Amino acid sequence: MPQFTATDDGPRHVAIIMDGNGRWATQRGRPRLFGHQAGARRVREIVEACPDLGVDYLTVFAFSTENWKRTQSEVAGLMNLFRRYITREAKALKANDVCVRFIGDRVRLDKKLVAMMDELEALTANCQSV
């Protein structure tokens, strides 16, 4: 993977497809959700690094329609992880001037989770970073 610094003509928009976290955990003898948690921690590191690297936009593809085919317990774990991430990171995202926008279909998501997403978008709507 190429390494860029803020002085390079590196990418202004980076997109990440979060894939393989469950397999990564399973290969290490850990539960699949352990891998998803590791992926969420990595997203935090990436969000923090983007401004220093000159990245203006970060797109994270974290849950596809195919993910609904996972076991009910894994989907529930992912949704809980998503809720925890929003709760834990909201203040830091705002403090670091990160504008958050969720894209995609929210119809199948729990209404409380959708409300959390809406609140985070509103909280960060005037932010200027990533």
Average of per-residue pLDDT across 84-103: 93
Whether 106 has a pLDDT exceeding 70, the answer reads: yes
The reported pLDDT for the residue numbered 129 is 75
Enter the DSSP assignment of 70: S
Which residue spans within 1-130 are E strands per DSSP?
13-17, 57-61
H helices, E strands: number in the chain:
4, 2
Would you tell me which CATH number, out of the four given (3.30.1340.10, 2.40.50.140, 3.40.1180.10, 3.40.718.10), belongs to the domain 13-123? 3.40.1180.10
The reported pLDDT for the residue numbered 2 is 56
pLDDT bracket for residue 4 (50, 70, 90): low
What are the structure tokens assigned to 38, written together? 């590791």
pLDDT bracket for residue 124 (50, 70, 90): very high
Spot the catalytic one: 8, 52, 67, 118: 67
Give the CA distances from residue 7 to residues 2, 52, 55, in Å, rounded to whole numbers and listed in that order.
14, 9, 11
The reported pLDDT for the residue numbered 128 is 85
Across the chain, mean pLDDT equals 90
Instruction: Tell me the domain boundaries of the chain.
Output: 13-123
Spot the catalytic one: 19, 52, 97, 110: 19
88-112-36-19 Cα dihedral, nearest 10 degrees = -120
The reported pLDDT for the residue numbered 3 is 61
Q: Is 67 in the active site?
A: yes
